[in-house]
Amino acid sequence: MGRDNELIATPGRTHGPAGVDSLNREIAALRAERDEAVHTATRLRAVLDNAHDAFVSMNAEGVITAWNIAAERLFGWTAAEAIGCPAGELMIPPRLRAAHDEGLARVRRSGVSDLAGRRLELYAVDRDGREFPVEMTLQARFERGEPAFHAFLHDITDRAAARTELRRERAFLQALLNSLDTGVAACDGEGRLAQFNPAMREIHGIGRQPVGADSRVGTHHLRRADGRTPMEPDEAPLARAYAGETVQHEEVVVVAPGRPARRFLANARPIDTPDGRRLGAVVAMHEITDAYRADLLRRCRYAVARALSEAVSARDSAMAAATAIAVELDWACAEYWEVDDDRRRIVRAGSWARPGFDLTGFTGDSPLAFSAGQGVPGAVWATGADIWSNDLRGGLADPGRLPFGHRLGLRAAIGMPVHNGARVAGVLTFFTDTAVTRDDDILTMLRDIAAQIGRFVERRRAEDLTLALATARRDFNRVIEQVDDCFWTVEVMPDGTVRSVYSSPGATGVFGGVLPTDSDMSRTLAERMHPDDLPTFLAFHERIGSGRPAEFECRVIGYDGRTRWVWTRGVTRHEDGRLYVDGISTNVTERRELADQREALLAREREQVRRLRELDRMKDELVAVVSHEMRNPIAIIAAYTDSLREEPEFAGRPELAAIGRTSAHLLHLVEDLLDLARFESGPDALDSRPLRLDRLLRQTVEEHRLTARVDLITEIDVLPMVAGDAARLRQVLDNLLSNAIKYTPVGGTVTVTARANADTVTVAVTDTGIGIPPEQYPKLFTRFFRASTAIDHKIKGTGLGLAVTKAIVAAHAGTIVAEPGPGGGTRFTVTLPR
């Protein structure tokens, strides 16, 4: 080994040139492996020397074989001092060395270390004898057939101190939580319950039962603020906080089995690390049951006071108070019952049911009455004491109403008497949809409220009577003030004199001034009587004095000097041995004057009517005579005109044509006037026979179609036979059709329809012409009346055609009406009996 190139001979091995080369290569490889091992050991030593943790190796005997720089700093021994020394003497506290030696012996015997591969916390000692905690990671290996141990160690004094402080803080916190009367619960990052302090256990009625590691966040008998609706698991404040929500001052109700409901304010929030990692959540529940109950009772009293202040009647006040109580206490139903006047039954006066709770058939506005001892109101009435029952199916004498209420969901009944003095005047009854434990505080409040209602009802009834009396008196005075009559009351004294008791303001309008009230009224009035009527007044006074009702009408000379006719009536009454007379005096002067004037007016009107009828008769005779006398000359003129127009020398003369047209117009006018005179004289002017009106209609339309410049449309059904004058009905149809065609522009439409029913035949003529103003329809059938539209369009006419048409239709016992057409223009409808 002293020379690098020296060949080492191996016994039994032949070294030729090839063998020498092979041997050199092996030597080179071994040298490379040695160098690599040296480098690796150097690097490992550098790593261990620069490591923060102490590195210590020892053999199976416990002798130290390796000791890095960190071990020197940790224990105070240099590597030169430590290597080769037993580890127990340098590192292990004296009280633990025996256990250390026993462990080494056990490893030597079994070849297995139970501590290998584990992270251990134990105590060590340094050069100065200071004992301190360390964390050690131990690895055990077999080297050359013997166990060897390698360990990394670091001082955990700070950690141990922090851990000790944390344990003290936890103990303090747990003691604090255990001493709180506020319930506190918390869950860990997995949602498992980690804390349930004693107050929270007591709240939920679970005693000292431990909360297991697998217990999840739940509702634990929680209900919403209404006290009825169970919370869903995700609604619980702790669950919401675990989901990331901050819950503040949320009311919850805990209904633990076998315990009354309790109300709490819950505050919950998530527990997060600064980097946002969810560690869990916590909830604190502060009980507000007593405060809530006190506030609830206060709200009840306030609601009752407000309801009573707003009530307008005694019955309304009691029902309003009952409703206010039920609303505030969240009860399902409230009723008020009144004992009737003869005290034989108690009758339901009002009821209320919580919205959304169907109590149809149990309560409502329908009348219901019980006898004493029957049902809740009857039992309260009979005993005069309150009732609180959670048994609606047999606890009270009831004709089936309470069991029916139980089927509807009612569970408890409360009854409270309302006293009026020593007697029960009414009963307040309440029903709940949950079983409610008898509550003395609520009963005390109900007794106070019932007493308040009783006093209020009594006072309200007195006030109602006073108000009713005042209202009646005010209404009476208001009416009296508006009446011109004098209402009076007098007392007839034993000596026959009359004393005034009351006189209304209307006396001035009756007597011309204010009647004196400090003198004998009979003498005062006698002095004001008209001499001719004084006997009548004295007879009235005598009859009244005998206690009998009487009335009279006479003239009174008023204080203003005017004489008035006055009608007086008096009715006697006896009161406390005294004779009173209530009466009314009315100024009937206008009535008397109006009666006289009416008679005179009637006489004048009768004379005017007679003269008008005479004038109408004379006018009709004049028209008939003039028409008759003009008919022949006009006919002669027309005949001669036609003859002259046939002569060759006069043919085509315009003068003759004008004379012919004028003669025809005058002749038509005369014929219309004569027709009107005939029909006004009676129906004898008709030659009535059965006829087919549909044929007459078609014939008339076809004849007018020849000259019409408008479209004629017919919708004529097959009509039954009617009784009528064919010539006169043809005249009606000609008038209506000619008017429709004349007042419809070229290209317009005239529609003729005819229908029949069981009683009548109806003919309608509708045009699309110029129409008639609506206000002129009532005058359309008046003689000589022409619509303004016809005048504006300069369409000629006499104004008699429609008057004649109406007269003919009326003579046939029919009717004719005019109205605007559906598309403009006018529609005339004729209705004739069948």
Provide the token pair at 268.
Answer: 């919950």
pLDDT category, 12, cuts 50, 70, 90? very low
Over 50: is that where the pLDDT of 212 sits? no
Which pLDDT does position 434 carry in this prediction? Answer: 86
Where is mean pLDDT largest: 207-211, 229-233, 505-509?
Answer: 229-233
Handedness of CA 241, 244, 246, 250 (dihedral sign): negative
Q: What is the percent of the chain with per-residue pLDDT over 70, rounded to a whole number?
A: 88
- What does the pLDDT look like over 226-248, one tens digit per residue? 888 888 888 999 999 999 999 99
Minimal CA–CA distance to 525: which of 486, 495, 471? 486
Q: At a CB cut-off of 8 Å and minimum separation 6, what does 406 contact?
A: 392, 393
What would the DSSP string read from start to end of 417-483? EEEETTEEEEEEEEEESS-----HHHHHHHHHHHHHHHHHHHHHHHHHHHHHHHHHHHHHHHHHHH-
Separation between Cα atoms, residue 754 and residue 377, nearest integer Å: 75
**Burial of 722 by CB count in 10 Å (0-12 exposed, 13-18 middle, 19+ buried)?**
buried
Report CA-CA distances (Å) from 667 to 314, 630, 646, 694: 89, 8, 21, 30
Rounded to whole angstroms, how far apart are CA atoms 442 and 299?
12
Under the banding of pLDDT at 50, 70 and 90, the label for residue 620 is low
Question: What count of other Cβ atoms lies within 10 Å of the Cβ of residue 13?
Answer: 9
d(CA 432, CA 466): 39
pLDDT of residue 695: 92
The predicted pLDDT at position 56 comes to 93
Helix (H) or strand (E) holding 248: strand 247-254
> The tokens of 3 are what?
């020379």
Per-residue pLDDT tens for 672-692?
666 666 666 555 567 788 999
Would you give the DSSP letter of residue 685?
G
DSSP strand pairing (333-339 vs 711-716):
unpaired
Q: Residue 736 has which token pair? A: 């209506």
pLDDT in tens, 257-266: 878 888 999 9
Name the nearest CA neighbour of 352 among 283, 303, 309: 303
Structure confidence by residue, pLDDT tens digits, 687-734: 788 999 999 999 999 999 988 899 999 999 999 989 998 988 998 999
CA atoms of 414 and 322, how far apart (whole Å): 12
Distance from chain centroid for Cα 514: 60
Judge whether residue 5 has pLDDT over 90.
no
d(CA 723, CA 700): 18
Distances in Å between the alpha carbon of 686 and those of 667, 668, 673? 21, 19, 16
Q: What are phi and psi of 763, to 5 degrees?
A: -120, 130
DSSP class per residue in 706-766 = TT-SSEEEEEEPPPPEEEE-HHHHHHHHHHHHHHHHHTS-TT-EEEEEEEE-SSEEEEEEE
Q: Which amino acid type is present at position 651?
A: A
Write out pLDDT tens, residues 632-659: 666 677 676 777 667 777 666 777 666 7
Helix (H) or strand (E) holding 542: helix 534-545
Helix axes 440-482, 289-310, angle to 10 degrees: 20
Q: Is the pLDDT of residue 145 over 90?
A: no
- Report which secondary-structure segment, H or E, holds 502: strand 498-503
What DSSP state is assigned to residue 274? T
**What pLDDT is attached to residue 132?**
93
What is d(CA 651, CA 661) in angstroms, rounded to the nearest whole number? 15
Say if residue 777 is exposed, middle or buried (CB neighbours under 10 Å; 0-12, 13-18, 19+): middle
* Rounded Cα gap, residues 72 and 70, in angstroms: 5
Q: Is the pLDDT of residue 85 over 70?
A: yes
Residue (of 452, 457, 448) closest to 317 by Cα position:
457
Ramachandran category for residue 364: left, alpha or beta (phi over 0 → left; psi -120 to 50 → alpha): left
Q: Supply the pLDDT for residue 2.
A: 40
395 SS3 class: coil
The residue type of 437 is T
For residue range 760-780, list pLDDT tens digits in order. Answer: 999 999 999 999 999 999 888
Which of 114, 198, 186 lies closest to 149, judged by CA? 114
> In this predicted model, which residue has the larger pLDDT, 11 or 617?
617
Examine the pLDDT at 663 and tell me if it is beyond 60.
yes
Computed over every residue of the chain, the mean pLDDT equals 84
Q: What is the pLDDT of residue 365?
A: 80
CA distance 709 to 372: 95
The answer on pLDDT for 216 being more than 70 is: no
pTM: 0.43
- Look up residue 154 and give its two tokens: 């670091």
Closest-CA residue to 524 (of 486, 496, 498): 498
Cα dihedral 234, 235, 241, 244, rounded to 10, equals: 60
Tell me how far apart the alpha carbons of residues 280 and 288 are, in angstroms, rounded to a whole number. 26
Phi then psi for residue 102, to 5 deg, are -65, -35
Q: What is the pLDDT of residues 339-348, one digit of tens each?
A: 988 888 999 9
C-alpha angle with apex 107: 105 to 111, nearest 5 degrees? 135
